Structures are given as structure tokens and as C-alpha cells.
């Protein structure tokens, strides 16, 4: 029995070492997560070593008790997912890997699609931003499980600590709609919270530069440099949003054609 458990322990520890090696080689997320089997193996080793040091005979009951204790402490460890840099191919951010920590600005380019699932939280370091330069952002939360774009700073950040913005450029894929006005494709922010942005000179926590994503049922609040800013955002649709408590203006559009402005709170300039 003792040899069997020691052999199994050796195997699970090797599995954990292999997982760490894969992480270093770039085959898993940047931050490796020790799994339950690794923790179980470590727990068994601790029990066996403690018994050997104290001279306690390793009976069958004692080994089984050690196994139970090891199972009790072998809990999965959840780590943050570090993101940043260029997204050149289709990428999917899922709730299981949340929160995502943007230590560098994220740029969607090369006609790529960044899809963000309901319940995902993206935390940005100061001054970092999410830009859709050439491609599309599909961020569709739900009423009960929204997506959150926020800061890595605990509490309300100082102006110098705020993250940047979510920006859509000229080559971002605009939203499209059917004859009934229902969304069909293209960039969309739905049931999302955007807060504590505005740390750069870019106007708007959501900045639209000759771009027209669909913005629906979102909360844009507590941002510096305004809530939503559009420059030549022709045909942009903004529907059923809360845009509030942003410094300067909540909503600003220059030379734009704005459609479906519903449930807006604040000032339009």
C-alpha cells in the first residue's frame, strides 16, 4: 500500500511539473495554474514525510487518513489572465479565465474578431486601452451577467491612475442590421459596464472615430474625459443605455448621424 501511494504521488507531481513546463513554453496561459492533482500529490508527500520524521508507523489507516487530508486541501487555484499587445487572429475571452488583466494596451487588428463572453471582467492598468483598429469587438453580456471593463486600482482611482478608453477606428467593422432594425453582425457592446476610464487625452471612455458599433443596454459611468465621444460616427446606434456621472460631457458627437438614442441620462452636446 505504501509503495502504491508513493508511486501515485510521484506521477501526479510529474504531471504538475509538466504543466508548469508547458506554461513556460507558451502552450498554456501566461500565468500557470497548479491543478488539484498537483496539490494532492504535494499533500500526500507532506503527510508521508511528517510521519517518517516523527517516527510514526505508516499503517493502512494512517495512509488513508493522510489521503483524506490531502483531498481536503487540494483546491483549484484561480489565476488572472494577463493580456496585452496586438490581436491578429480571432480570440475568445471566456468567463473561466476571468479576470483578464491588461498590463499593455490591447489592439485588435488584421481583421480579427475579439469575442468576450458574459461575466468576463477586464481590468486595465493605468493609461492602458482597448483599440479596435481593423477588425471587430463582439462583447455581448446579459442583464444578469454583464461584461465589465474597469481598472486594476482598488477603489476609485485618481485621474493619473485611470485606464484609457475603448476605441473604434476607421477600419473597425461597423454594426449591421436587418430590415426590422435588429442587430445582425459587426462590432457590438451589449450589457457591458465601462467605468473609471479617461486616463489619456482621448475624449470618451468609448471613442468612435469614423466608426459605428452598436451600443446597447450598457452602463458608462464614472469616467473622466466624457462618456461616449463620436467623431464622424455616421449611423451609430445607441439604445437603452445608462450614461452617467462622467466628467465633462456624458455624450458628445461631432459631424455624426446619431440613431436610436433611448434612455439616455445626461447632456448631449
Give pLDDT tens digits for 17-41.
444 444 444 443 433 344 444 555 5
CA distance 136 to 128: 19
Q: Are residues 30 and 161 in the same domain?
A: no
CA 171 – CA 208 distance, rounded (Å): 11
- Domain-terminating residue out of 49, 73, 97: 73
Give residue 57's pLDDT: 63
Q: How far apart are the first and last CA of the chain?
A: 77
Give dist(CA 261, CA 236) in Å, integer.
10
Q: Which residues fall within 8 angstroms of residue 61, CB to CB, at 6 or more apart?
A: none
Contact residues for 228 (Cβ-Cβ < 8 A; gap 6+):
204, 205, 206, 208, 215, 220, 238, 243, 250, 251, 252
The answer to whether residue 266 sits within a structural domain is: no
| 173 and 255 inside one domain | yes
Asked if residue 269 belongs to a domain, the reply is no
Residues 101 and 59 in one domain: no
Residue 63's SS3 state is helix
Helix (H) / strand (E) containing 8? helix 2-25
- Separation between Cα atoms, residue 216 and residue 29, nearest integer Å: 31
Do both 94 and 225 map to the same domain? yes
* The pLDDT value given to residue 16: 47
Task: Walk along the chain (269 residues) and give the pLDDT tens digit of each residue.
Answer: 555 555 555 444 444 444 444 444 444 343 334 444 455 556 566 656 666 666 666 566 665 665 555 555 555 555 799 999 999 999 999 999 999 999 999 999 999 999 999 999 999 999 999 999 999 999 999 999 999 999 999 988 999 999 999 999 999 999 999 999 999 999 999 999 999 999 999 999 999 999 999 999 999 999 999 999 998 888 899 999 999 999 888 888 876 555 544 444 443 43
Grid cell listed for 157: 482611482
Question: Taking the complete model, does pTM exceed 0.85, yes or no?
Answer: no
Domain co-membership, 152 together with 51: no
Tell me: do 17 and 137 sit in the same domain: no
Long-range contacts of 56-61 (CB under 8 A, 24+ apart): 58/2, 60/1
Three-state SS for 23?
A: helix
Do 223 and 93 belong together in one domain? yes
Contact 219, 241 (CB under 8 A): yes
Distance of alpha carbon 104 from its chain centroid, rounded?
Answer: 13
Q: Which runs of consecutive H residues, i.e. helices, occur in 55-179?
A: 60-73
pLDDT of residue 250: 85
Residue 241 lies in a domain: yes
Of the candidates 57, 73, 89, which is a domain's last residue?
Answer: 73
Domain end, chosen from 45, 73, 101, is at 73
Residue 264 domain-assigned? no
Residue 249 within any structural domain of the chain: yes
Do 168 and 220 fall into the same domain?
yes
Residues 67, 159, single domain; the answer is no
pLDDT at 254: 76
240 and 161 in a common domain: yes
Query: Are 22 and 53 in the same domain?
Result: yes
CB 38 within 8 A of CB 10: no
Task: Give the count of beta carbons closer than 10 Å to the beta carbon of residue 159.
Answer: 11
Number of structural domains found in the chain: 2
Report the pLDDT value the prediction gives residue 27, as an integer from 0 to 100: 41
Position 192 in a domain: yes
| 115: containing domain | 81-259
Amino acid at each position: 500500500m505504501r509503495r502504491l501511494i508513493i508511486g501515485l504521488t510521484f506521477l501526479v507531481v510529474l504531471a504538475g511539473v509538466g504543466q508548469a513546463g508547458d506554461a513556460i513554453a507558451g502552450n498554456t496561459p501566461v500565468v500557470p495554474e497548479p491543478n488539484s492533482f498537483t496539490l494532492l500529490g504535494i499533500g500526500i508527500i507532506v503527510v508521508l514525510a511528517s510521519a517518517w520524521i516523527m517516527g510514526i508507523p505508516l499503517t493502512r489507516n494512517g495512509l488513508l487518513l493522510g489521503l483524506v487530508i490531502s483531498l481536503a486541501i487540494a483546491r483549484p487555484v484561480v489565476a488572472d489572465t494577463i493580456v496585452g499587445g496586438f490581436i491578429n487572429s480571432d480570440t475568445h475571452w471566456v468567463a473561466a479565465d476571468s479576470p483578464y488583466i491588461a498590463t499593455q494596451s490591447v489592439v485588435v487588428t488584421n481583421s480579427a474578431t475579439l469575442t468576450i463572453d458574459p461575466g468576463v471582467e477586464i481590468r486595465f492598468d493605468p493609461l492602458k486601452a482597448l483599440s479596435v483598429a481593423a477588425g471587430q469587438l463582439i462583447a455581448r453580456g446579459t442583464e444578469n451577467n454583464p461584461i465589465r471593463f474597469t481598472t486594476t486600482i482598488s477603489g476609485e482611482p485618481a485621474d493619473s491612475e485611470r485606464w484609457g478608453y475603448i476605441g473604434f477606428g476607421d477600419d473597425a467593422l461597423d454594426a449591421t442590421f436587418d430590415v426590422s432594425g435588429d442587430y445582425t453582425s459587426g462590432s457590438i457592446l451589449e450589457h457591458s459596464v465601462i467605468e473609471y476610464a479617461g486616463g489619456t487625452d482621448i475624449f470618451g471612455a468609448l471613442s468612435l472615430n469614423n466608426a459605428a458599433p452598436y451600443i446597447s443596454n450598457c452602463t458608462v459611468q464614472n469616467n473622466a474625459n466624457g462618456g461616449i465621444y463620436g467623431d464622424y460616427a455616421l449611423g451609430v446606434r445607441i439604445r437603452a443605455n445608462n450614461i452617467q456621472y462622467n466628467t465633462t460631457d456624458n455624450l458628445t458627437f461631432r459631424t455624426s448621424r446619431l440613431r436610436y438614442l433611448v434612455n439616455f441620462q445626461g447632456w448631449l452636446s
